[in-house]
Chain A
Amino acid sequence: MVMRAQGGHPWMGNSLPALKQQMLDDIGVASIGQLFEQIPQDHRLRLPLDLPLGIRSESALRRHLTDMLAKNESADTDLMFLGAGCWPHHVPAVVDEIVGRTEFLTPVWGSAQSDFGRNQAWFEYASQLGELLNMEVVGLPVYSWGCAIGHALRMAARLTGRREIVIAEVFDPERLSVVENYCEPNDMPSHIKIRRVKVDAPSGLIDLDDLRAKVTSKTAAVYFETPSYLGLFETNAAEIARIARQQGAETIVGVDPLTLGIVRPPADFGADIVVGPTQPLGVHMNCGGGVGGFMASRDEERYVREYNGFLISITETQKPGQFGFGLASAHQTSYGMRENGKDWTGNSVYLWAIANAVYMSLLGPQGFREIGELIITQSHYAARRLAEIPGVTIRYPDGFFKEFVADFSGTGKTVAAINRRLRKHRIFGGKDLTPEGMKQCALYCVTEVHSVEDIDHLTQAIAQAVKP
């Protein structure tokens, strides 16, 4: 619907013709066009543009937008089993309520005058995540998990003075592209060489023999994930950390924080720096946003001095019993030192840090245990059910958290064709791994948002889709 321009514009009180004329009269200009005389004719837009007029009526605009949005097929309206970097998790109502508060949502960033409790909320993000990770220092989150890995790798390179890192051959392609971005280009004086360690075929875990061969006195860091890209807990984490330490390399571990109510944190296995995604902690799957990455370490000066992002700190004020909060490391960021800062500080996801803080407060130790138990049980149920379908096998049937690899090659159907059929049942099937070299395999994600009925519905729909 298009409304013709008429009368005043709701956002511009002085758009009324009489008022415009009055302003022109006051400054002694005959027409608005005269104000643009300094712009050469051939640089000016030819008005009117060939565009529909804007919708001025809010009620009509709302209708226009809701009609467009109603065409979407989304994870809210359909059943979704996609994960791989952005996962369907429940966001408690209180999280939305608190991040929507204007004290957090709209104040100008950065100054003490704009702190309406934000610094305390950030501190509580860091302290709660520290408890979950069993690490003392947690930086404010960065743009994505991939960015957190990149910063941690560069941190390790500065700490060790070495320019090589080792990561697994099987790696999320999106995170890999970010990591490469942080390490390359190779003609940059401070570039970091990426070496890839083999993954043991039967277990899906890092091949320890190959790791021993690849980690040398040149290695700055070994980075691995638990759960891995394909969903598997890295059961050799302690041995990997030992191999890295023997060569003087840092051990950097990526972890899904939602696992940490039921499994031990990477610090317990010898991780020096821990990174991971913050989206599972109370952030919706937003289009073009919502993801974030955390970074944590022990409270040792050598690490703390290398954080490129902000650390939020607490101190007592002059008033007994009162606390004050502030940014503790601004001087070593690129804000404080420009090109001499520790890496580029970059953008962040500070509002989502508050969502994460609220989420962790709501769950507490019991909530994290419950959600972990629910997810691991339901995901294994789903894997077992899918394995009952003729031709479908589960690549690594045990030892995963919320994601697992279903192999459809025995069905004679492609994952692409199966996923197309699933759309008829209003299901988004797992991520097709065929383009990544795992032919007719799909990465399925099952979380607390799914029910047994959902999984049974998926199983029946796949069974139909793979019938010859």
Chain B
Amino acid sequence: MTDKTNELRDYHAPVWDEPVVMQLGYPGRRGQVFPQPARATIDKAGAASTLIPRGLARTAAPALPEMSEPEVQRH
């Protein structure tokens, strides 16, 4: 009989064969869509790019996953 007492056991908690969210998605996919700013707002206030103070605009988009709504739900 092998010595089971000192044997390293497998992780006991429930485990899933589920990748981390950063490994999921596909470029261009979306899980949430917001409306474009209305024409009236741009006519009066200007486009968003003109409202961000100089030098503050984000140039490199955050590397977040790009997922559809059902993908997020299933994950």
- Distance A87 CA – B8 CA, assembled complex (angstroms): 50
- Least CB distance from B15 to A in Å reads 7
Q: Which of B11, B30, B66 contacts A324 (CB 8 A)?
A: B11
- Distance A30 CA – B72 CA, assembled complex (angstroms): 61
Q: Contact: B38 with A452, CB < 8 Å?
A: yes
Q: Which residues of B contact A380 (CB under 8 A)?
A: 41, 45-46, 51
- Distance A116 CA – B30 CA, assembled complex (angstroms): 26
Q: Contact: B61 with A365, CB < 8 Å?
A: yes
Q: Which residues of A contact B4 (CB under 8 A)?
A: none
Q: Mark B29-59, 1 if CB is under 8 A from A, else 0.
A: 1111111111011101111100111111111
Q: Contact: B22 with A127, CB < 8 Å?
A: yes
Flag whether B3 is at the interface (Cβ < 8 A). no
Q: Contact: A381 with B31, CB < 8 Å?
A: no
Q: Which residues of B contact A120 (CB under 8 A)?
A: 18, 20
Flag whether A262 is at the interface (Cβ < 8 A). yes
We find that the number of chain A residues with CB closer than 8 angstroms to chain B is 61
Q: Which residues of B contact A116 (CB under 8 A)?
A: 14
- Least CB distance from B40 to A in Å reads 5
Flag whether A307 is at the interface (Cβ < 8 A). no
Q: Which of B53, B59, B66 contacts A365 (CB 8 A)?
A: B66
With contacts A233-B53, A374-B37 known, is A127 near B20, CB below 8 A?
yes
- Least CB distance from A345 to B in Å reads 22
Which of A262, A322, A362, A448 has the most B CB atoms < 10 Å from its CB?
A362
Q: Which residues of A contact B28 (CB under 8 A)?
A: 366
Q: Which residues of A contact B66 (CB under 8 A)?
A: 364-366
In the complex, chain A residues 243-283 whose Cβ is within 8 Å of any chain B Cβ: 260-265
Q: Which residues of A contact B37 (CB under 8 A)?
A: 373-374, 377-378
- Specify the main secondary structure of chain B where it touches its partner: loop
Q: Which of B22, B25, B30, B41 contacts A378 (CB 8 A)?
A: B41
Flag whether A328 is at the interface (Cβ < 8 A). no
Nearest B-chain residue to A368, judged by Cβ: B62
Nearest B-chain residue to A116, judged by Cβ: B14
- Distance A378 CA – B36 CA, assembled complex (angstroms): 10
Q: Which of B18, B51, B73 contacts A94 (CB 8 A)?
A: B73
- Least CB distance from A144 to B in Å reads 24
Q: Which residues of B contact A97 (CB under 8 A)?
A: 73
Name 18 extra pairs, CB < 8 A, besides A124-B21, A264-B57, A380-B45.
A92-B32, A97-B73, A117-B14, A123-B20, A128-B22, A128-B64, A235-B55, A264-B56, A265-B58, A361-B72, A362-B72, A363-B31, A363-B64, A364-B29, A377-B46, A380-B51, A451-B38, A452-B40
The 14 sampled A-B contact pairs (Cβ below 8 Å) are A92-B69, A94-B72, A124-B20, A233-B56, A263-B57, A365-B62, A367-B32, A374-B36, A376-B48, A380-B41, A381-B40, A384-B44, A448-B34, A448-B35
Q: Which B positions have Cβ atoms within 8 angstroms of A?
A: 8, 10-16, 18, 20-22, 25, 28-38, 40-42, 44-48, 51-59, 61-67, 69, 72-73, 75
